[in-house]
Every structure is written in structure tokens, then in C-alpha cells.
Structure 1
């Protein structure tokens, strides 16, 4: 996954649906071509078709209406991400690899902004652990995937001679967003060797 080095403006609004769309786009790009000779479409094309037309119609009268202004998605509690309509359609229970989890952790930090001193800021920025929580709450991967990704980042820090846990390292006053993203990139590189 290529990451942009440009810093997004602090007033950028990102809602859960657009984040999920970015995650789904990333996962579709990662999907290998199907091995069955009778199927001529790539897995990514099949996923895109499936996402374009939901197989299950949602009963609008009985489904809880959850209309939240886009700006509020950045500041509502992370547990509420599990209630998003987009998550129910796309993300629930989606298994991802450790490498994908790390790539998507970087994506969340780039989209929401980076934070230190807690899982999230009042404006919605996330630390590394907070970005991992967003993915978990949206249903991408499970606890084992998140723990393995954390272990990969911890291994990078250990090789550097750092004894802090990766989430404590993230919260140090001298830390920057660039350093946090670099840690994630090094963990990705270590996972793909």
C-alpha cells in the first residue's frame, strides 16, 4: 500500500462510511485473481459487484435509523462504530491478515489524524492502538490479528533497543506522526519477509 507523505488538514472530516469504503477498496486491490478457470473476473471485481448491490435488502421500517452528521463520526465513541450501517453491510467479521491490519492501521491514522497521550483525541485523532481499535470495532480482523500486529510493531522496537510497549512509545512527548507511521511501515516490511 502506498502511503502519502502529505499531512491532511486538521479540519478534514472523515466518516465511518468513507473509511470503510477506503478499507474495502484497499482489500479489493489486495485480492488475488480467482484460481477457478470458469470464472473470468478477479476477486476484486466480484467483491466490487457484491458491494454495489447488497444481496440482502434492509427493511427500512424495522432497521434502526442511525443518521449521524459526517463531522460527528470523528468524535462519537469508538464502540458506536459497530452500529454503522456500512459496517453491517461490509465489515462485520471480515478476516484480514496481520499485514493488512498494519496497512489499514496506517490508513486510519492518515484519515483521522494521529494522536498521543490516549487512544483518541476529542477531535477524533487516533494513536496506533486507537487506530487498531477502529479496525476491530468496524469488524476488520479479530483480537488475534490485532495482537499479532502489535507484536510485529513491538518486535521492531525491540530490534531498535526500545523497551517501551509500542502504545507507550507512541505516547512519548517527543514522538511524531511520521515516526508512528514509520514504525508501522517497518512492521509491515518485517511481516512480508
Structure 2
């Protein structure tokens, strides 16, 4: 069984819009809080609201994606860059290396783990494939992704493993739990060094 190490219920599908919603929820929890405890919105939220059009001039929200979630999950990664949800939420959004690593784990948990390539035909991802999803959705930039790669590789070196992490991911005995532990160790190390 070289394609995946995770058995997922057939009715559990994750589309890009759902993934973006979960990423945005995670990032909202990470947002800096205002100085006064009685103020529940961040400064960025208050500024955004102040710049929005009055309620009488608001536009109709974009319709929900009608394509089946399975199709959105298995489309090539480059198509993620043109999704309406990506343009609305993720386009060009800067994130920290720690956030990139934690979101990589989120993608793997939702899409499933894959060995032997960036992605499987069913949409499961390897570590590098999960990082590509984030990049294509507009979360972070090349520098963020490259530094996250270095953090993952550093954790492997501390464990005495010299092979590149994408080869480590592809080993036949690699399980999702192993991969998540590696990524979370890298995220913790990144947080400690920030």
C-alpha cells in the first residue's frame, strides 16, 4: 500500500473552500489581541471594518462553489491559485514559518498523507505537496516555505537522519503520525527560535 497510510471515510471530502475556512480560523486564533481586554476585535479587524463600504452599498457575496468537493480536492495545485475563495481570503497573505508548518500539518490531516509523489490521484499529499497547497493558496511566500523546509530538515538532522525530508516522507513504513510529529517538532523549534 504505497499510496497512503491513512484510511479516511468515503464520505469525508475536503475541498479548497473548506481548507481555506479552516486556515483562516487558525490564523484568526493566532492574531495579536488588542491592548484592552474589553475590546474583542484586533486593530486589523477594526481598520478593515472602517474601510468597508456602508451596508447600503455592499455587493452581493460571491456564490458558493458548486463543483463537488472531490473535484476541488483532486484538481492540480496550480488551479488553487484561481479559486474565488483563494482570492478572497488567502491571496498574498503573509504568515510566519511556525504558522506555515502548523498549517502544513492541517493540510495533511484534512487531505490525507501520501508517499511516492507530491499527491495521489485522490488528493492526498506528501509534506512537500501540502506545502505546495499553502503556497498556491497564497499563504506565505517562497522565503517562508524555504525556511519551513530548513526547519523540518534540521529536526531530521537532530534525529541523526541525513536524507532530505521528502525522501524520508516517501519511505514505505512512514505513517501520518510520524509526519505530523516531525512537522510539529519543526514548528515548536521555529517558535522557540523566533
TM tier relative to shorter chain: 0.7 to 0.9
Match of 2:140 in 1: 141
Q: Counterparts of 2:88 and 2:102 in 1: how far apart (Å)?
A: 22
What count of residue pairs does the alignment treat as equivalent? 180
* TM-score with structure 2 setting the length: 0.83
Alignment of 1:145-160 (within 5 A): 145-160=144-159
What RMSD, in angstroms, separates the aligned Cα atoms of the two structures? 2.9
Q: Which residue of 2 aligns with 1:112?
A: 111
State the match for 1:167 in structure 2: 166
The C-alpha deviation readout for 1:30-87, integer Å capped at 9, x for no partner, is 001134x6x933329938x86xx89984797xxxx97422110111101000111000
Query: What is the aligned partner in structure 2 of residue 18 from structure 1?
Result: 18
- The whole-number CA distance in structure 2 between the counterparts of 1:139 and 1:112 is 18
In the alignment, is the contact (CA less than 8 A) between 1:115 and 1:127 conserved in 2? yes
1:178 — aligned with what? 177
Match of 2:3 in 1: none
Structure 1 distance, partners of 2:29, 2:65, is: 30
Give the TM-score taking structure 1 as reference length. 0.83
Spell out the pairing of 1:14-163 with structure 2 (5 A cutoff).
14-35=14-35, 40-43=39-42, 46=45, 57=59, 67-163=66-162
Structure 1 runs, 4 residues or longer, greater than 2 Å off:
6-11, 39-47, 53-60, 65-68
Aligned in 2, Cα 1:168/1:57: closer, same or farther, shift over 3 Å?
Answer: farther
Structure 1: any 5+ residue segments left out of the alignment? 1-5
